[in-house]
Structure 1
Amino acid sequence: MRIARFSIGDEVAFGVVEGDTVAAIAAHPFGEIRFTGARFPLEKVRLLAPILPSKVVAIGKNYAEHAREMGSEPPAEPVIFSKPSTAVIGPGEAIAYPQKLTQRVDYEGELAVVIGRMCREVPASRVPEVILGYTCANDVTARDLQQRDGQWTRAKGFDTFCPLGPWIETRADPSDLAITTTVNGEVRQSARTSQLMHDVPALIEYVSQVMTLLPGDIILTGTPAGVGPLEIGDEVSVTIESIGTLTNRVAARD
């Protein structure tokens, strides 16, 4: 099932994407799905960020080759950092390049996990019970600020630096999905989630030992090798097998 958050006119709603239509659902997608009966052509609605999370918890250096391209060996345990909820944007929205503050903004294509229920201290064997589904993400990063600060909050926390979408796929198997990032149609990252050093069950178990996870929270699972800079005017796309494609353009920040 593909769950989208969309707007049509002044209305914002959740819906289930079925072919080229969206069937609206009542309230939110957590719990029993109840359809309202309203249906809209997919081309007539605007897809929004599929969820507005209370928090975005991200994992650094979770692909060995990416850790090495960043100048370090793969860590023994997951490296946790966070991005503010205000960084989240949806498909088609612009990534705002803050030129006054940074001279290098990088793409980082990632698989994102959407939490479906409040949970903490979840054993790996029960992780599927707390997941609503999966979506595409771009962990946009001001690389020069990351290196300068020595910690990652500012570099990864700018408004618009967490594109998500195009929808939440509830039936994907995250264990071995192809993930590709392109810039202006050129492939820059290509990997499979089977290359994750810490897989989805291990990540949720690890993070939920630290903090309570709430419905709609996002876990970014890490980016593969091949990260690189974006320029104003670029179009960046993250495609994940069985899920879809998230596309955003880069624009100058006002």
Structure 2
Amino acid sequence: MHSIKLVSEELIPSKVVCVGRNYTAHIAELNNETPDQMVLFNKPNSAITNTLLAAHNGDTLHYETELCFVIKDKKFIGVGLGLDLTKRTVQSKLKNKGLPWERAKAFDGSVILSDFVELTDAMKHFTFELKINNEVIQRGDTHFMLHNPDSILQEINEFMSLEDGDVVMTGTPSGVGEVTAKSIFAVALYANDQCLLEHQWKVSKN
């Protein structure tokens, strides 16, 4: 089983719960419709990886940077960042046929996560950014989410059991794109304009 780190503690998520279409600008860049209700899907523990690849089984991967939370007692206790890695071509074909997304979103190695820091009550407003090769590519802000973190947690808890250590990914802002070999991905997370964490991945050769 794959693990994540919250401060110095190793946790094993049973699953990663993801929110789709949570930023208007991202919905527009993919020519999607704004959904009437929250879009949710799962990634299994086997999707978690420490190695960022540009492709999986011959399919090109696209990055989506997301604000993430760790669960304990059905509440958020830690915060970090992650990349939801997507087979965009496969996903488009599945959507056109009205089929589930697992082949495009839940394959082995489809999520890579930073370490997590402890969440406090003072942390009300989060922003984050992704740089690729020192160029800012994505910026996220909880003020621009269609569903804020509290409402996401409430909605998930209404129909699904969240186990201790599970991760919730809250959706990506605009700026998604293709992962390219040898690139350096650097993410930074801020709460109330104070830097909480920085993390970096180098795209490995497949």
- SS where residue 96 of structure 1 aligns? coil
Give the drift of 1:52: 2.4
Rounded to whole Å, the distance in 1 between the matches of 2:56 and 2:32 is 28
**Cα contact 2:78–2:116 (8 A) shared by 1:** no
Equivalences for 1:50-69 in 2 at 5 Å?
51-69=11-29
1:80 paired residue number? 40
Unaligned runs of 5+ in 1: 7-13, 16-27, 29-49, 120-129
Give the drift of 1:184: 1.2
**Cα contact 1:88–1:159 (8 A) shared by 2:** yes
Summarize deviations over 1:177-209 as a string: whole Å, max 9, x none: 121111111111113111111011111111111
Give the drift of 1:134: 0.9
**Cα contact 1:179–1:193 (8 A) shared by 2:** no
2:149 paired residue number? 200
Indicate the structure whose relative CO is greater, using CA pairs within 8 Å and at least 6 residues apart: 2
Correspondence 1:114 to 2:74: no
Correspondence 1:144 to 2:97: no
Select the residue among 77, 80, 83 that pairs with 1:132. Answer: 77
Kindly tell me: are residues 251 and 201 of structure 1, through their superposed partners in 2, closer, same or farther at Cα, counting changes over 3 Å?
A: same
Q: CA RMSD in A?
A: 2.1
Select the residue among 183, 196, 200 that pairs with 1:247. Answer: 200
Rounded to whole Å, the distance in 1 between the matches of 2:123 and 2:142 is 7
**Cα contact 2:133–2:183 (8 A) shared by 1:** yes
**Cα contact 1:96–1:159 (8 A) shared by 2:** no
Unaligned runs of 5+ in 2: none
TM-score, length-scaled by structure 2: 0.85
Rounded to whole Å, the distance in 1 between the matches of 2:24 and 2:185 is 23
**Cα contact 1:175–1:199 (8 A) shared by 2:** no
Give the drift of 1:171: 2.1
Give the drift of 1:76: 2.5
2:61 paired residue number? 105
